Chain A
């Protein structure tokens, strides 16, 4: 029973979900209360995770659940991401008339699912976590049910995601069949000779995972779902589930199948290159900012995968650093999106940003910093993210990947520059409202400053991440 305190964060979140549900049912008009409570409960869960001692690896439940540095860090990222999403979207939800009790509860559910995914050391556990988070996400995508686009995106996401889950499950069964276990460590020990069956299993699972992180060629759902979902859910989609899926990606590739690196490495490199190029090229024609974020996130996932494909601890660490910085940048970008509102109506196309710099100098300066950072221009944080990834890629002499990746940053720079051009060079339009919530302002200022001043203390984040040693 001693071990239960290691999963106290998960238990705590499950209990909070039930408590909040009961509260929501019995107390009238409690959506504001539940919203705030869930933020508080998330933060408490975060503290519980911090409380679990770092630098030690604990496995629970017959070795199917693992608590280590990787899981703790990624859980904290997930929780912080989720808390920020809840914090800054209050006003948006109220105006969109979807400020309901279910919203924070669903977010908590999906976070719980992600935490299970992150800690899973077993195919079954992993699948349970994945489905828990996915079910919550389907509902969240179609949360604005009065709007056609939102329902459409929910349905689309559900159908495609179910398909990919099916493939993934089939991959799991193949792996179970050929290795005799669903536990990552046992699989890892039992594969001495390479079966074709195992390779097929890996491919199917990679397909399922690539779908979850929207890597090309399994990205088709992303633009539609990102555009159709309520903006706050898009933000959630863009940052939080990717962290969990990335963790599973890392654990799945590096714990059981590290010996088969020759077989999965080309696949991951292909996913990476395809995502980087496609994300850069396809975003050029977009006019809707949410769609553009979808394509840009596809591109960024390409860089994360580039780090993952390397096959070293440094590569994994660089991917995680990239993901963390990418989270901060997206948080800033969406804070700006939440600020683009006039008379209770939100705007989300690039043209709506026209001449923003004349009326809203601070907001546009932040956007400038965030966009240049997304484009990877030094000395902003986005540059360092790419720098670390390519550092580890080039260490293994994978020059082709490095050059393709860096050339696609040039293409990607074009569409970021286009937004900056609209903000700074074009004619101004009507002013936007300035009655933003304090949290929104704080999150924008926080993310902008973090991106801008990252170069002063660039090694802090790396130091934390360098404790993660999977291999």
Chain B
């Protein structure tokens, strides 16, 4: 075994957090530099990992396998083309979150940084783990820091939101735990690679699929269990919203691809109409709700629900385009929604209001901000030339291939998306400058500029040149679909595609 690069990716942020925990000063900036340094090193390692990564094969790479729970569970991590992109997304977003705490977090800065760093460790762990139990461990442990982030540094209704977030997610996940343990007794292992080879007996698949679905549906979030998300987003501090939108939601999409499709092909095939229906409802319903919002953060939260609806739709088309599109959509949404929340954070720090009606005519006082905000607005509605377009386009292409009607309805979502995003932008940035307090606020400072540009560059770059992303995932997705169809033919002849 070579150098355990994945484990060091997981552990490094925690080491940084420990260092902070034992440091004496509580609110000075030194802690911030330590946190920034650790997460930046992590980012560099993950980029190096991408460089080392061989996209021409779908077998798991950089695999580490250690004995852990003696006799039945091994600590096994490894990555393929699908997971590496999420790891890089995580390591990119975390340092930006840490930079953004400058203006937003006034109290207990050190504790906040510790929570963020621990969160980073756990999120990377989720995307690396190749064992169901290890996955569950990381997946659930993330609740603790996020609960604290929302609850300690959140807005007025933080307690309500933190509880709702925690209990909703926990309720979804315990069923997944039952399913994981059942899989162990049915198949004799919880190692994903082995499970892929063995396959799971058809008669158990439906129930198991539902148990996993209950967890991922809450986390995605899918209609009708999405209600925790707007609350959590609105009350969480900016950095918390960013982590939540950019990475936590992606765990579920990743889970759908890795587990629902990979382990339960027969059940996935059977329940595709259900997922389609829920996704379409999410897209249309969340878009309509987003149109009516007066709170900027809530609007973006509902737009997340709609975008994740596209993602689940794309995943369950089970076509090369659909799944690739979903992955790119998730990456793109990770960048764009993070940027949008940061944009809201920028004006919130200045005006302490998230209500749309507070603003209007920002373009004349904050021209630089308006340009970047526009870029991200356009990316969110999927304008060609931004990464959002690539994702939505591929998903719709996959959907057309699979089911024409579904694709048509989903396309309406794109139009609604344009409507609410552009309307939001118009009300906030254009129009007459009525509120005189706005005259006094400064434009972006350097750190804000840095954060937003570092998100804008990949959004534009991958919008024009998605090749690196597609290259990375292509083989993995292709083999996943091949395995899916193979298993379907093997185990479920009656529901053949």
Tell which of B143, B144, B167 has the most Cβ of chain A within 10 Å. Answer: B144
Output the nearest chain A residue to B172 by Cβ-Cβ distance: A410
Contact A414 B167 (CB under 8 A): yes
Interface membership of A87, Cβ < 8 A = no
Does any Cβ of B come within 8 Å of A413's Cβ? yes
Q: A377: CB under 8 A from chain B?
A: yes
A378 interface neighbour in B69, B137, B167, Cβ under 8 Å: B137
Task: Report A420-461 CB contacts with B as 1/0, cut-off 8 Å.
Answer: 110011000000000000000000000000000001001100
Max chain B Cβ within 10 angstroms of own Cβ: one of A372, A390, A410: A410
A407 at the interface (CB under 8 A from B): yes
Once the chains are docked, how many angstroms separate the CA of A420 from the CA of B150? Answer: 13
Could you mark each residue 130-149 of chain B with 1 if its beta carbon is under 8 Å from any beta carbon of chain A, else 0?
00010011001101100110
Would A377 and B167 count as touching, CB distance under 8 A? no
A378–B141 contact, CB under 8 A?
yes
A344 on the B face (CB < 8 A) = no
A377 contacts B148, CB within 8 Å?
A: no
In the complex, whether B163 has a CB less than 8 A from a CB of chain A is yes
Q: Is the CB of A394 within 8 A of B178?
A: yes
CB distance from B413 to the nearest CB of A (A): 33
Distance in Å: Cβ of B114 to nearest Cβ of chain A:
10
* CB of B121 to closest CB in A, whole Å: 11
Whether A282 sits at the interface, judged by CB under 8 Å, is no
**Contact, CB under 8 Å: A378 / B140:** yes
**Stretch from A233-241, A328-336, A395-403 contacting the other chain:** A395-403
B399 to chain A: closest CB distance in Å? Answer: 35
0/1 per residue, B261-283, Cβ < 8 Å to A?
A: 00000000000000000000000
Q: Is the CB of B152 within 8 A of A403?
A: no
User: How big is the B interface, by class?
Assistant: 20 to 34
Which of B136, B151, B171, B181 has the most A CB atoms < 10 Å from its CB? Answer: B181
Residues in B neighbouring A421, C-beta threshold 8 A: 151, 159, 162-163
| Residues on the A chain within 8 Å of B140, using CB | 377-378, 383
| CB pair A378 B136 closer than 8 Å | yes
Q: Does the CB pair A458–B185 fall under 8 Å?
A: no
User: Are B137 and A413 touching (Cβ within 8 A)?
Assistant: no
Interface residue A463 (Cβ < 8 Å from any Cβ of B): yes
For the complex, give the distance between the alpha carbons of A372 and B143 in Å: 10
B185 touches A379 (CB 8 A): no
Tell me, in angstroms, the Cα distance from A421 to B67 when the chains sit together. 37
Instruction: Compute how far the CA of A379 lies from the CA of B75 in the bound complex, rounded to whole angstroms.
Output: 13
Instruction: Give per-residue flags for A70-100: 1 if the beta carbon is below 8 A from chain B beta carbons, else 0.
Output: 0000000000000000000000000000000
Q: Identify which of A372, A413, A420, A463 contacts B70 (C-beta below 8 A).
A: A463
Decide: B171 and A394 in contact? CB cutoff 8 A.
Answer: no
Decide: A458 and B68 in contact? CB cutoff 8 A.
yes
B174 CB within 8 Å of chain A: yes
- What is the bound-complex CA distance between A145 and B490, given in angstroms? 74
CB-CB under 8 A from A424, the residues of chain B are 148, 151-152
A395, A414, A425, A458: most-surrounded residue (chain B CB, <10 A)? A425
Min CB gap A274→B, angstroms: 19
Q: Does A164 sit within 8 A of B, measured CB to CB? A: no
Determine whether the beta carbon of A413 is less than 8 Å from that of B181.
no
Contact A425 B159, beta carbon cutoff 8 Å? yes
A378 surroundings in chain B (CB, below 8 A): 136-137, 140-141
CB distance B185 to A409 under 8 Å?
no
Tell me the bound Cα distance from A379 to B144 in angstroms. Answer: 10
Q: Does B447 contact A (CB under 8 A)?
A: no
A391 an interface residue at 8 Å Cβ cutoff? Answer: yes
Question: Smallest CB–CB gap between B185 and chain A, Å?
Answer: 5
Counting CB contacts under 8 A, is B177 at the interface? yes
* Interface check B184, CB cutoff 8 A: yes
Report if B196 contacts A (CB, 8 A).
no
Please give me the residue from chain A that is nearest to B154 by CB atom.
Answer: A425
Given the known A-B contacts A378-B141, A390-B181, A395-B185, are A413 and B69 also in contact in the complex, defined by CB atoms under 8 Å?
Answer: no
Say yes or no: is B175 at the interface (Cβ < 8 Å to chain A).
yes
Q: When the two chains form their complex, are residues B68 and A377 in contact, meaning their CB atoms are under 8 A apart?
A: no
Is A37 an interface residue, CB under 8 A from the partner? no
- CB of B182 closer than 8 Å to a CB of A: yes
Are the C-beta atoms of A414 and B181 separated by less than 8 Å? no
Does A379 lie within 8 Å of B137, measured CB to CB? yes
State whether the Cβ of A350 lies closer than 8 Å to any Cβ in chain B: no
What is the bound-complex CA distance between A420 and B147, given in angstroms? 10
Contact B144 A372 (CB under 8 A): yes
**Chain A nearest Cβ from B55, distance in angstroms:** 32
**Which residues of the other chain, A, contact B166 by a CB distance below 8 angstroms?**
413, 417
- Please name all residues of chain B whose beta carbon is closer than 8 Å to the beta carbon of A125 when the two chains form the complex: none
Docked complex Cα distance between A56 and B148 (Å):
49
Collect the chain A residues with CB atoms within 8 Å of residue B175's CB: 403, 406
For A377, the chain B residues whose CB sits under 8 A away are 140-141, 143-144, 170
Residue of chain A at shortest CB distance from B171: A410
Q: Check B167 against A413 for contact (C-beta < 8 Å).
A: yes
B144 and A425 within 8 A (CB): no
Contact A425 B68 (CB under 8 A): no
Q: Known contacts being A390-B181, A395-B185, is A410 close to B167, with CB within 8 Å?
A: yes
Q: Flag whether B158 is at the interface (Cβ < 8 A).
A: yes
Q: Which residues of B contact A387 (CB under 8 A)?
A: 133, 177, 181
27 contacts between A and B (CB under 8 A): A377-B141, A378-B137, A378-B141, A379-B137, A383-B137, A383-B140, A387-B177, A387-B181, A394-B182, A394-B185, A395-B185, A399-B178, A402-B181, A406-B174, A406-B178, A414-B163, A414-B167, A417-B163, A417-B167, A421-B162, A425-B152, A425-B159, A425-B162, A459-B68, A459-B71, A462-B69, A463-B70
Binding site for A on B (CB under 8 A): 67-71, 111, 133, 136-137, 140-141, 143-144, 147-148, 151-152, 158-159, 162-163, 166-167, 170-171, 174-175, 177-178, 181-182, 184-185
Excluding A378-B141, A421-B162, 12 further A-B contacts by CB distance (< 8 Å) are A361-B111, A372-B144, A378-B137, A383-B140, A390-B181, A394-B185, A406-B177, A410-B167, A413-B170, A414-B167, A458-B68, A463-B70
Closest 4 CB pairs of A and B: A459-B70, A406-B174, A378-B137, A394-B181
